[in-house]
Structure 1
Amino acid sequence: MIDELGLAYEDGDRGRHRRSAESPRRRGRTVIAAVVAVLLLAGLGGAAYWGLDRALGFFSAPDYAGGGADEVVVEVRDGDTLRQIGVTLVKADVVKSDEAFVEAAEDNARSENIQPGFYTLRRQMRAKDAVALLVNLDNRVVKGVAVREGLSVVQTYQVLSKATGIPVAKFQAAGKDPKKLGVPDFWFTRTDKTKARPSLEGFLFPKTYEFPPNATAESILRAMVAQFLQEAEAIDFVTTVEKERGGISPYEALVVASLAQVEAGVPGDLGKVARVAYNRAYGGSFPCGCLEMDVTVNYWLELNGKPTKASKDMTVAELDDPRNPYNRKLRGLPPSPIDNPGAAALQAAMSPPVGDWLYFVAIDKKGNSAFATTLAEHEKNQATARANGVL
């Protein structure tokens, strides 16, 4: 055996000579050894491949193997990263790991176009299949509800009910306690002598919403309140009002925003209308120290289930009803907002332009208003409005 091993280290000629002179028995033994060696190498190679495959599997992200079953609706929130979407899908048991989802999304060029909203997916599906469904807008559960600026709570409930099929009565019941829906208690603090009337009025932010199929009246109203708080924070509404509006509370500024929203005929007049409201209620130069705006009377009529009216059709009893807490002749601002203002109206009430205006009137059919500091100027503007067929 030692001699045979030593042959491998002899020079090439001697090695060839010895192998060529081997006996048939030795040649058979050599062939068998060669076959064994090949099988051994093949086995080692297979083991190595199997080990490599196991190693790669160990380091790859956990993923489901099938296409999934049992539909589930998941939400992609505005601003979500791929990782955040992956976490949402893991919680819903759609994908096995957020790592697998991120890897699959990065391999799909269309994943950059995943839109916020609700999607119908399946539980326990491959990550790449989940990505494919998310980039396909046909899988979005689109139940958009457009709530425009200036709608009162009463009107908003009607819009929501029509779009979702949830009875108005359920919205009314859910909306009775604004604090339970997320409105912080400090919002109902006032610095004037008028007592706040806690309600959802002013806090149902107007925009187009997409609610999940299983949404309830309470969850819808809570989402709208959360949107309002987000919008107010984005423009630093509370801090700015407290610093710049002469000591009035954010709630009073919200009341002014609601007045501007419904009184301004065009967006460009929102700030000036807000300034008129401040000047009348707090400026000291308006004779009654009141708003004297008919829209507050209409709001009271609506709250009591009565039809609203044009100013010219209102009776003196309706205009100056002493039992009406929204009476246009009462000093200061009304007990609550009279509608739900949008972002531009909030901005206008927070930072209105400087001016001594006490009067305004729409002077054309586009809704543009003329503003005046004296009654004489206001009367001239009214004449212009009549000439243009507005009054």
Structure 2
Amino acid sequence: MELRFESNPDPGRWRHRRDEGKGRSVIAFVMVLLLVGALGAGGWYGYDRFAGRFLAADFDGPGTGEVIVEVKKNDSASAIAETLHGAGVVKSTRAFVNAANENPDSTGIQVGQYKIRKEMKASDAVLALLDLKNKYVEGAVTIPEGWTKMQVFTELAKASGLKYEDFEKAASDITKLGVTAAWLKRTDGKKVDKSNIEGFLYPATYELPKNATAEDILKLLVKNFNAEMKKLDFEAKAAKLKISPYEALVAASITQVEALLKVDMGPVARVLYNRAYSGDFPCGCLQLDSTVNYWLRLNGKQGKSSEKLTIDEMHGEDNPYRYNAPGMSIGPISNPGEVALTGAIEAPKSDYFFFVTIDAKGTMAYGKTFDEHNANIQIACRNGIPIC
């Protein structure tokens, strides 16, 4: 696949003959006037289309939402760029072509449809097209990172024609679906609930077998989970942290929800470990809105922002995911992907007990003390993050 803009096939055609110079100068002047008039009439819309095609404008963040795009046979980088720009994935075609040229693996982009995010940084868009997990197959179902089991059951029911309740029933004993005994232990004395499949529904795109039962489909997802855990050497690396693989899975599920950027997955997981296991955090608890909101969703309610959570919702004794529940959370709160899982088992050592998102890009700031945390919150407020 050609990864550069096609060069002018006939450079000589732009050369002027001497006897045409004056006439062409007049024509050029008129064209400039017409262009200025068009820009005045077209305003920002015309400029934006021009910038999108010829300037290397780029998005900063990891993207949002989802869109399906198609890479066709013999598509050049510029053709792919046009497709992505038209779908709102990249901010400019030039940014994508530049990113493709800078990534030698981009020649491996395959023909097909991809489900990727809109408003992505161009270099991330290249990586998204190289990741076969993003390939879209008609009739298949895609499980994104961070979805809860409720969301997964809903999507599987829609794709398979089965009922939501079929998946609830099939998930009542995870050991019958392929979850091994190694995942049923904890080092902190808490019990693993064998009826809770949260965390084991590995995010990926699955082509569902025809006439498959809910049990068949869940076994397919758990089988993929087991394969990915083996690749990551998850159990052995969790043991080096002196925790069970299940506790590391719980941490990964929380990290998936709390952190936006790849660079923060490990550090956020370490904060969770410091709070739950170090003995140096006053309550020895997690104190997270995300776990409280998971409990609300389990009970058919909507999640809430921090300032709207009630005292009872945060601290109610009937809520095992409550704000001050001691130690690591009783179970996963989402189904984490590879990056969050890796962060949980390769969490870099630190003395941090606090983290907070401080800008629209998802940048995290960390603190050892509550005073440092408050200072980071003020930074977030100045950046327009609605947490004050």
Q: Which residue of 2 aligns with 1:239?
A: 236
What pairs with 1:97-112 in structure 2 (closer than 5 Å)? none
What are the superposed Cα offsets for residues 10-68 of structure 1, whole Å, 9 maximum, x if unpaired? xxxxxxxxxxxxxxxxxxxxxxxxxxxxxxxxxxxxxxxxxxxxxxxxxxxxxxxxxxx
Residues 287 and 143 of structure 1: CA distance in aligned 2, closer, same or farther (over 3 Å): same
C-alpha deviation, 1:143, in angstroms:
1.6
SS of aligned partner of 1:360: strand
Structure 2 residue corresponding to 1:210, chosen from 207, 216, 231: 207
Q: Check conservation: 1:206, 1:342, Cα contact below 8 A.
A: yes
TM-score of the pair, normalised by structure 1: 0.62
SS of aligned partner of 2:183: helix
Distance 2:193 2:309 in 1: 25
Q: Which residue of 2 aligns with 1:370?
A: 365
Q: How many residue pairs align between the two structures?
A: 253
Q: Which residue of 2 aligns with 1:299?
A: 294
Distance 2:318 2:169 in 1: 25
Letter in 2 for 1:171: F
Q: Check conservation: 1:143, 1:211, Cα contact below 8 A.
A: yes
Q: Which residue of 1 aligns with 2:168?
A: 172
What pairs with 1:41-52 in structure 2 (closer than 5 Å)? none
SS of aligned partner of 1:273: helix
Percent of aligned pairs with the same residue?
Answer: 46
Q: Are 1:381 and 2:376 matched, yes or no?
A: yes
C-alpha deviation, 1:164, in angstroms:
2.3
Structure 2 residue corresponding to 1:318, chosen from 313, 316, 319: 313
Residues 220 and 114 of structure 1: CA distance in aligned 2, closer, same or farther (over 3 Å): farther
Q: Check conservation: 1:290, 1:332, Cα contact below 8 A.
A: yes
Structure 2 residue corresponding to 1:185, chosen from 168, 181, 184: 181
Q: Point out where structure 2 has 5 or more consecutive residues left out of the alignment.
A: 1-109, 113-135
SS of aligned partner of 2:365: strand
SS of aligned partner of 2:174: coil
C-alpha deviation, 1:163, in angstroms:
2.2
TM-score of the pair, normalised by structure 2: 0.63
Distance 2:332 2:171 in 1: 15
Distance 2:111 2:349 in 1: 45
Distance 2:330 2:212 in 1: 31
Q: Which has the larger radius of gyration?
A: 1
Q: Check conservation: 1:141, 1:212, Cα contact below 8 A.
A: no
SS of aligned partner of 2:366: strand
C-alpha deviation, 1:141, in angstroms:
7.9
Q: Check conservation: 1:194, 1:334, Cα contact below 8 A.
A: no
What are the superposed Cα offsets for residues 154-200 of structure 1, whole Å, 9 maximum, x if unpaired? 11111212222221111111111100001012211011022222211
Q: Which residue of 2 aligns with 1:252?
A: 247
Distance 1:235 1:248 in 2: 16
Letter in 1 for 2:234: F
Structure 1 residue corresponding to 2:265, chosen from 270, 275, 279: 270
Q: Which residue of 1 aligns with 2:327?
A: 332
Q: Which runs of 4+ in 1 moved over 6 A?
A: none
